[in-house]
Structure 1
Amino acid sequence: MGDIAIRTVGLSKLYHTGSKQEPYKTLRDTLTEAFLSPIRRVGRLIRGQATGAAELNEPFWALRDLCLEIKHGEVVGIIGRNGAGKSTLLKILSRITEPTHGFAEIHGRVGSLLEVGTGFHPELTGRENIYLNGAILGMKRADIKRRFDEIVDFAEIEKFLDTPVKHYSSGMYMRLAFAVAAHLEPEILMVDEVLAVGDIAFQKKCLNKMREVGKGGRTVLFVSHNMQAVTRMCQRAILVNEGRIKEDGPAGRVVASYMNAGLLNVPEREWPDPATAPGGELARLRAVRVRDGEGRVADLIDVTSQIMIEMEYEILKSGYVFAPNFGVWNEEGICIFASLDVDPAWLGRRRPSGRYRSRAIIPRHFLKEGTLFVNADLVTLDPMTVQCNEHQVVSFSVVDSGSGLSARGGYNGRMLGVVQPLLEWKTERLDS
C-alpha cells in the first residue's frame, strides 16, 4: 500500500431526486464554524430547522460499486458524460460528501478545487482563508507564510486580500481557490472543471500549474470535458459511465474510446428556462443546433451538403462586445477548427441586451467523415471573459454517400487527416 495514493472499494452514493441532501460536515466546516459568532450559529440553526426536506422521490445511484487504485505521482483524467458520477467521486475523495456504501482511502494531504463556493468561508478574508486552508492541510504557519506571496501573485487579488471573500466575484473566488489548492504543497490535487468559466489567460495559467504539480511527482486527479487537455496532461484516464468505471488505461486510448463509443448524436440542445441555462452574469446560452443544407436539424449530413451551426443566446447586460464562438472536435479529441462571430454588423460593437441568434456556415466538402462534437462558447472581449463554455453540447456525423463527387475520387480506403476538402485539381498530359 506504500505506493497507493487513493484506493476505493465498492464506492457507492445514493441520492433521492427531489429530496434535500444533508451536507457532510468536513473538518473545514468544523474549524471555520469557530470563526462565527454564537448569534450567527443560532440563527443558522433556526433557519435550518425551519426548512423542511422535500418529499422523497426516485432513488438515483450517482456511483455504484466503484473500485480503483491510483498511485502516488500519477496524473489521471476522469472523463464521461454529464451526470456520469465524476464530480460525485471527487466530492467523496475530498471528504465533502460521504458515501452510501463502500469506502475510500486517501494517503496524503489533499488540495481540491471543485465547485466554486466550496473550500472557503465567506465571512473570512482572502488572507484568513489562505492561512486556514494551510492549517487544515497540516502545514505550519511559517510554511504558509513562505508560500503566501506566491499564492497572492498567482491569484492576482492583492487589492482585495483583506476583503471577506463573500464580496468576491466568481472569477476572483476561483482564482484564489485554485492558487491555494495548487500552491500549499498538497500531495494529491483534485480539480473539477470549474476552470471552464473565467478568464482565458488564467485558464492556461492553471493548466500549466497543474502540469508543473504533476511533473513534481505529486498526484493529480483532473475531471474535464476538454479531451485535448486530458490527453496532453494525463498519462492515464478513467471513463466513468452511469456511476461505474467503463474503461481505465492510457489517456489517448480511453479518450479515443469515449469519443468513438457510438453515442447517439444530439444535433439540438435547448434551455427553455433562463434560470438554468448555462452562462454567467452577462449572458446565457439558450440553444445550439446543427442544420443541413436544407435548414433542417440533422444528425447525419453528407459531405456534399453545407452544414450550419446555430447558437441562440440572451445578453443580460448591455454595453459589452460579444464574440459567440464554437469549436468542432473529432472522435479522437482533436479540435479541427474554431470559429468566432465575424458578422460585420456586430463586429467590435457593444451589444444591447436581448435575445440573439448567430449562424455560421461550414462549406461543402470540408469536414471529414466521422462523428463530430461541437463546443459552444459565449465570450466578451475587452476584457475577455468566458460567460459560457459548453463542451460536446451537440454532435453529428458526416458521411460520404458516394452520390456525388468528393475528395475520395474513386478511393474507398481510410482517408488521413482531420479535414477532407475537395480541392481544385488540374491535370495535363505532357507527351501529347
Structure 2
Amino acid sequence: MSTVIRVENISKRYRLGQTHGGSFANRIQRAAGKMFGRRAPRAALKVSAASSPSQVDDHGDFWALRDVSLSVEAGEVVGLIGRNGAGKSTLLKILSRIVTPTAGRAELRGRVASLLEVGTGFHPELTGRENVFLNGAILGMTKAEIRDRFQEIVDFSEIGTFIDTPVKRYSSGMYVRLAFAVAAHIDPEILIVDEVLAVGDLEFQRKCLGKIADISGSGRTVLFVSHNVGAVRRLCTRCVVLDSGAVAIDGTTAAALERYLAKGAACNGVATWDQGISNPGIDDFRFLGVRLLDEMGQPSGHLSSNGNFNLEIQYCTDRDVQDCRVGFQINAADGTPVCELYDTDVLSRAPVRRAGRKTLSCTFRCPELANGRYVISLNAGIPFTRNLAYVEGAIAFEVANSNNGGFMSQLPRSGLICPIAEWRAQEVA
C-alpha cells in the first residue's frame, strides 16, 4: 500500500488578544516589527473552554497543534477524534489547504474533496446548480464529467427543484446535503469529512455513512471526524486521538475508543466546567456540569443494574434559544452505543430555552447492564440545523453487580445486558 497522506511535525500557532484595526499605520507598525524582530500585534482568537492550559505558551500564544505527525495509506478509513479544542478541525483545514501551518509540512497525493463547516466551498449568491459545476471545476473535473454525474448528485442530495435557488436561501441541512453529494460523487482519491454531517436528519446521516463505506470499499481514502463513536466504530479500522493539540493515541479503532472514552471521564459522579463548554463558534449555549445520583440522591460513579438512574445536567443560555433539545448518550467503554435520550422525547416540538442557568433532571430505571464501565456524553442542538454543545465522555460509571448473586455469574461474558433469568431443567424420558 502507498502513503497518500503524510503529516510531518505540523504545528499551528494563534496569537491571543485583540488586534487594533487594520489601518495603514498598523500595517506599517507590523512591517517595522518584522524588520526589527518584534512580534506582530495579536490577533483575536476565541479558544474553547475545553482547551488545555498547556496549549498556551509563555508569550500567551495558543498552539492549536504541536508536532503532529501521522501517515495514512491508500484505502484506509481513519477516524480522527478528540474533545473540543483538541485540534481536529485545525488539522483538517491544514490538510484541505485552507489554513497554513506555523511549522511542519503535509503532503497529500491525489484529488482531495473536503467537507468541513457549513458554508465552506459554496458561493452564497450562486444557485445549487452553479455551485455544483464550480466545485467540480475547482477539483479538476471537466464540464462533461460534472454533467455526467449531475443528476446523481441532485438525487442523492434530495434538493429537487431547489437546485436552481441561490444557496444563501438554503437551510443548513439542505446546504450540507448538497455539499456532501458533490464531495462524494466527484471520485476523490481522498475524502475529508468533519462533524458537519451532524446537522442533517437521521435518515440522511445513514445515507452519508453508507456512501462513505462505499467510497472506502472502492479503495479510496477517508479521513473522518465525528463525535458519533458508533459511526467511527462502524466505519473506521484505525483511530487517531488528538489531545491538547498532540497525537495521544494512534491504533485500532476498538483499542483507541476504549482508551479515549475512559480517559478523563471521572467515576465519582460529578463533572463541572467553570467557563462552560460549547462547540466552536457557539456563544449562546454552554454546558456547566453534570451529576449522576444514586438512589439516595448522592453523587456516585457506581450503579446497581436495574436500579433507578438519576442524571442532573446544568447549562446556561445567554439569550433565548429556539427549538433546542438537550440530552445524553450512554456508551460502553469500547464505544458501543447503549442508549440516547433527550428532554424533548415526549414533546411534539422542542421548547424555547429562556436565557439563564438551568438544571435538567432525568430519572429512569437503569437497564440490566452487564458488569463493566460506561461513559455518558452530553449533547445539545437544534435538530437538522446546528449543534450547540457536545461533551464527549463527561462522566463515567461502573456496574459491578449484574448478577443474581451466584458465583458463576461473575465469569466473563459478552453482551451489554445481563438480565436475571429463570432456568428450569426437566428429565427427558
Q: 1:180 aligns with which of 162, 182, 191?
A: 182
Cα separation, partners in 2 of 1:142 and 1:166, compared to 1, 3 Å: same
Cα separation, partners in 2 of 1:264 and 1:250, compared to 1, 3 Å: same
**Structure 1 residue 260: deviation in Å?**
3.3
**Structure 1 residue 151: deviation in Å?**
0.9
Conservation of the 8 A alpha-carbon contact between 1:369 and 1:399: yes
Conservation of the 8 A alpha-carbon contact between 2:270 and 2:289: no
Most deviating of 110-119 and 361-370: 361-370
Residue in structure 2 matched with residue 3 of structure 1 by the alignment = 2
Alignment TM-score, normalising by the size of structure 2: 0.76
Residue in structure 2 matched with residue 198 of structure 1 by the alignment = 200
> Hey, what's the Cα distance between the residues in 2 that align with 1:19 and 1:408?
63
> Hey, what's the Cα distance between the residues in 1 that align with 2:231 and 2:110?
25
Unpaired runs of at least 5, structure 2: 28-40, 46-58
Q: Secondary structure at the match of 1:161?
A: helix
> Hey, what's the Cα distance between the residues in 2 that align with 1:4 and 1:215?
17
Cα separation, partners in 2 of 1:359 and 1:418, compared to 1, 3 Å: farther
> Hey, what's the Cα distance between the residues in 1 that align with 2:407 and 2:293?
28
Cα separation, partners in 2 of 1:302 and 1:389, compared to 1, 3 Å: same
Residue in structure 2 matched with residue 390 of structure 1 by the alignment = 390
Q: 2:165 aligns with which of 163, 166, 169?
A: 163
Q: 1:144 aligns with which of 143, 146, 155?
A: 146
Q: Secondary structure at the match of 1:150?
A: helix
CA-to-partner distance for each residue in 1:173-227, whole Å, 9 max, x for gaps?
A: 1111111111111110000111122311111111111111111111100012222
Q: Secondary structure at the match of 1:124?
A: coil
Cα separation, partners in 2 of 1:87 and 1:146, compared to 1, 3 Å: same
Structure 1 segment 6-405 matched on structure 2, within 5 A: 6-18=5-17, 54=43, 58-261=60-263, 263-265=265-267, 267-268=270-271, 288-298=290-300, 300-303=301-304, 306-311=308-313, 325-339=327-341, 347-350=346-349, 353-354=352-353, 359-363=361-365, 366-377=368-379, 390=390, 392=392, 394-400=394-400
Amino acid corresponding to residue 257 of structure 1 in structure 2: R
Amino acid corresponding to residue 187 of structure 1 in structure 2: E
Question: How many equivalent pairs are there?
Answer: 391
Cα separation, partners in 2 of 1:117 and 1:271, compared to 1, 3 Å: farther
**Structure 1 residue 18: deviation in Å?**
3.3
Q: Secondary structure at the match of 2:164?
A: coil
**Structure 1 residue 284: deviation in Å?**
8.6
2:418 aligned with 1:416 = no
Amino acid corresponding to residue 237 of structure 2 in structure 1: Q
**Structure 1 residue 76: deviation in Å?**
1.0
> Hey, what's the Cα distance between the residues in 1 that align with 2:394 and 2:61?
28
Q: Secondary structure at the match of 2:145?
A: helix
> Hey, what's the Cα distance between the residues in 2 that align with 1:179 and 1:380?
22
**Structure 1 residue 296: deviation in Å?**
3.7
Conservation of the 8 A alpha-carbon contact between 1:331 and 1:372: yes
Conservation of the 8 A alpha-carbon contact between 1:307 and 1:362: yes
> Hey, what's the Cα distance between the residues in 1 that align with 2:423 and 2:237?
46
> Hey, what's the Cα distance between the residues in 1 that align with 2:103 and 2:397?
40
Q: Secondary structure at the match of 1:255?
A: helix
Conservation of the 8 A alpha-carbon contact between 2:403 and 2:409: no
CA-to-partner distance for each residue in 1:297-355, whole Å, 9 max, x for gaps?
A: 44x2342763212356779577x7x8765331011111123345588xxx354565345
CA-to-partner distance for each residue in 1:133-185, whole Å, 9 max, x for gaps?
A: 11111110000111111111111222222222222211111111111111111
Amino acid corresponding to residue 130 of structure 2 in structure 1: E
Unpaired runs of at least 5, structure 1: 23-43
**Structure 1 residue 125: deviation in Å?**
1.8
* Cα RMSD for the two superposed structures: 3.9
**Structure 1 residue 357: deviation in Å?**
6.0
Conservation of the 8 A alpha-carbon contact between 1:283 and 1:387: no
**Structure 1 residue 264: deviation in Å?**
3.5
CA-to-partner distance for each residue in 1:246-282, whole Å, 9 max, x for gaps?
A: 22222222222323346445744579889x57999x9
Amino acid corresponding to residue 252 of structure 2 in structure 1: P
**Structure 1 residue 104: deviation in Å?**
0.5
Conservation of the 8 A alpha-carbon contact between 1:323 and 1:379: yes
Amino acid corresponding to residue 303 of structure 1 in structure 2: S
Conservation of the 8 A alpha-carbon contact between 2:265 and 2:396: no
Q: Secondary structure at the match of 2:154?
A: helix
